[in-house]
Chains A and B, each alone.
Chain A
Amino acid sequence: MTTADSAPGAPSAQVPPLEAALNARAASRRGRRRGGVDVRTALEVTLFVAPALVLMAVFIVWPVLRAVQWSFFRWKGYGPLEDFVGLRNYVSVLTSEVFQGAVLHNLIIVVASIAIQLPLGLLIALLLNRRIRGRAALRTIIFVPYVLAEVIAGVVWVQLLQPQYGIIDQWLGALGLPSPEQGWLGTPDLALSTVIVVLSWKYLGMAVILLLAGMQGVPDELSEAAQIDGASYWRTQWHITFPLLGPTMRTWAFLSMIGSLQLFDMVWILTKGGPANATTTMATFLLTEGQRRSNYGIASAASVVLFVVALVLALLYQRFILSRDNTVDRPAKTPRPRRSTPKAVTA
């Protein structure tokens, strides 16, 4: 095997190894190699990166470009693309009540997931952060739903939620509480809420594990100091732990949001988007149009819209919420407290 030193054009071509290494180090300090194009480096980089780039080009870039192309045509999946319809697919997607409903459902799921899972996740993470017996087992258990496939978990939930004969309706009946006649998933007004409950069950573990990791980054000294000052347990959490968990919470919420916007599997198993389109999401919409009705143009337009919605929300989130974590000493709009506040690195 030839060594890097013998590379043609490399600045270190004719020097002994020690100096070469030192040169390389100096070059890296400067951040960039001086002198002509380093052919060998270019070759090596290409060799190493090519497989990944080829895979991504064929299976991500190419399909995405095709989706954009198809979104301007009326195409049923066979024959040449010739029926150019301009923006008409977009118009029919954006004016479709079903799609508008889907976008609304996605947004409701985004907000509800965060609103339900964040407080519950914090509570359970606090619980697991204490020295209680069986803590390790608890941590494993809380994460089990996250590991199961959405489909498999969904199939079990469908059984639990069976109208009348399901375990949930039976228990409610035993408590003297009424259940909807069509079942929780079969009643349009309740279906979306039911889906959200199941999703929260499935993804709560993820929030707990991440928040727990964040909590372990909070130095014990801070809570101890607060307790010595006489702060109660909850006061300590509220004023010390939670604020320091900010970056973890914001990043988790971001992941949760992205997941909710792409939601497909669980809805498809629980309701297929029904009843009466009460639980459609953008993903179930585009699959129904594409697979069931072979409206590839419409489905493609819907996937472009899905991408744009996700991108815009991601950028907004990045700009207004995550940016707090990236700028350390930005002049804050809120007045800085006079007394020195501990700045600890979380997560």
Chain B
Amino acid sequence: MSAAAPTRDLTPRRPAPDAAEATPRRRAIGRPSPWVYVLAAIVVFFTLLPVLVGVIGGFRTNAQLAENPAGWPDPWVFDNYLNVLQGSQFWRYTLNSVAIATMSTVLVVVCGIMAAYPLARYQFRGREGLFTIFVMGLLFPATVAVIPLFIITTRELHLGNTWAGIALPQAAFALPLTVVILRPFLQAIPKELEEAAMLDGTGRIGFFWRILLPLSRPGMVTVGVLAFVGSWNAYLLPLLLLQGDMRTLPLGVADFSSEHASDTAGVFAFTTLSMIPALIFFLTAQKQIVGGLQGAVKG
């Protein structure tokens, strides 16, 4: 990203403070004041509060929750979690979520890297125009197309209530961002490598297959993780297209919480268990998720 010359804000509005006024204010960088830790504790508290209430609430009974919603489990009850884990619903929803997110991710990564390759490394007329099509795709949120998508996938493609019916549109809507992230990534691979491969008699397809793909693994992992998280958390399209046993976890959680509205402890247990896959995935892929988001902003 180009540097905006921050013209105005850098000039002090008041004259610089006297030397006398400013002597001992240098902060020892290694030792921040205790207030910093207080602030950090507050932030952690509010960030984790809902998650912790869910986790702990799952270990209590509805009677305990009604008596004091903020209390500690006394005694600890495991029935709520066991009920969810022993029932078939939770596993069924998890399977659907895994299958749909995997299909969508594979599609996005494969189609995305293929499309990004010529856009990054070929010289041809209309290349920028072609790239603009992908950039334009960023402007169309799934929300705008969701009603026709519902009709098209169910009636014309006969993919209503199937994994593919969700995974295909999700992949399509994830592709623009994927191509926009991957193109600069592929452009950054040194030209010399390509020339060396050409000298050795490898064609451009061979170069793509044998050199570019292995080298662009970090980029593919990043876009793959973003696509997976996006699909895993999606609600609107599954809400329209999936019913019964085909529902994904978010849909399942939402329906469970309205069907069992009086069973607060059960809702907590179900919700907590649904958070776990996402949290594990996040902890293992943290670098890629954060890196990908930062990359998207760098543009």
- Which residues of A are at the interface with B, using a C-beta cutoff of 8 A? 1-4, 17-18, 20-21, 24-25, 27-28, 31-33, 38, 41-42, 44-45, 48-49, 51-53, 55-56, 58-60, 62-64, 66-67, 70, 77, 123-124, 127, 130-134, 138, 140-145, 147-160, 162, 165-167, 170-171, 201, 204-206, 209-210, 213, 227, 229-233, 235, 239-240, 242-244, 246-248, 251-252, 255, 258, 262, 264-265, 268-269, 283, 286-287, 290-291, 296, 299-300, 303-304, 306-307, 310-311, 314, 324-326, 328-329, 332, 334, 336-337, 339, 341-347
Q: Which of B74-82, B105-113, B214-222 contacts A (4 or more CB under 8 A)?
A: B105-113
- Beyond the given pairs A1-B206, A123-B39, A230-B22, 20 more chain A to chain B contacts, judged by CB atoms under 8 angstroms and listed by A's residue number, are A4-B204, A48-B117, A77-B151, A144-B48, A149-B249, A150-B235, A151-B253, A209-B294, A230-B19, A230-B23, A230-B25, A246-B9, A251-B1, A251-B299, A264-B143, A283-B143, A290-B147, A311-B139, A344-B3, A347-B1
Query: Per a CB cutoff under 8 Å, which of A52, A140, A290 touches B112?
Result: A52
Query: Are B23 and A127 interface neighbours, CB within 8 A?
Result: no
* Sampled A-B contacts (5; CB under 8 Å): A52-B179, A56-B137, A70-B148, A142-B47, A156-B51
CB distance from B120 to the nearest CB of A (A): 11
Query: Are B16 and A334 interface neighbours, CB within 8 A?
Result: no
Contacts of A123 in B (CB 8 A): 39
CB distance from B182 to the nearest CB of A (A): 11
User: Taking the complex as formed, is B88 at the interface, i.e. its CB lies under 8 A from any CB of chain A?
Assistant: no
Assembly CA distance A110 to B57 (angstroms): 33
Contacts of A304 in B (CB 8 A): 144
Assembly CA distance A313 to B204 (angstroms): 41
Q: For residue B19, which residue of chain A has the nearest CB?
A: A230
Query: Per a CB cutoff under 8 Å, which of B124, B254, B267 touches A41?
Result: B124
Contacts of B253 in A (CB 8 A): 149, 151-152, 155
A-B contact count (CB 8 A): 370
> Could you say which of B115, B179, B296 has the most chain A C-beta atoms within 10 Å of its C-beta?
B115
Assembly CA distance A53 to B130 (angstroms): 10
Query: Per a CB cutoff under 8 Å, which of A124, A299, A300, A334 touches B43?
Result: A124
Give the residues from 231 to 270 in chain B that come closer than 8 angstroms, CB to CB, to chain A. 232-236, 239-240, 249-251, 253-254, 257, 264, 267-268
Query: Are A210 and B294 interface neighbours, CB within 8 A?
Result: yes
Tell me whether A52 and B22 are in contact in the complex, defined as CB-CB below 8 angstroms, given that A148-B278, A156-B271, A264-B236 are known contacts.
no
Query: Per a CB cutoff under 8 Å, which of B18, B250, B254, B297 touches A210?
Result: B297
Contacts of B297 in A (CB 8 A): 210, 213, 248, 251-252, 255, 347
Contacts of B204 in A (CB 8 A): 4, 44
CB distance from A188 to the nearest CB of B (A): 21
Query: Per a CB cutoff under 8 Å, which of B21, B115, B236, B290 touches A52?
Result: B115
Give the residues from 26 to 71 in chain B that come closer than 8 angstroms, CB to CB, to chain A. 26-27, 29-30, 32, 36-37, 39-40, 43-44, 46-51, 53-54, 57, 65-66, 68-70
Query: Are A32 and B125 interface neighbours, CB within 8 A?
Result: yes
Contacts of B27 in A (CB 8 A): 227, 233
Query: Are A227 and B26 interface neighbours, CB within 8 A?
Result: yes
Query: Are B2 and A325 interface neighbours, CB within 8 A?
Result: yes
Query: Per a CB cutoff under 8 Å, which of A51, A53, A303, A325 touches B1?
Result: A325
Q: For residue B114, which residue of chain A has the nearest CB?
A: A48
Q: For residue A142, which residue of chain B has the nearest CB?
A: B47
Contacts of A166 in B (CB 8 A): 69
Assembly CA distance A143 to B296 (angstroms): 17
Contacts of B281 in A (CB 8 A): 147
User: Taking the complex as formed, is B87 at the interface, i.e. its CB lies under 8 A from any CB of chain A?
Assistant: no
Query: Are A64 and B205 interface neighbours, CB within 8 A?
Result: no
CB distance from B190 to the nearest CB of A (A): 12
Contacts of A130 in B (CB 8 A): 29, 32, 36
Tell me whether A21 and B16 are in contact in the complex, defined as CB-CB below 8 angstroms, given that A131-B32, A231-B22 are known contacts.
no
Assembly CA distance A28 to B201 (angstroms): 19
Contacts of B299 in A (CB 8 A): 251
Query: Are B36 and A132 interface neighbours, CB within 8 A?
Result: yes
Query: Per a CB cutoff under 8 Å, which of B46, B139, B148, B250 touches A314?
Result: B139
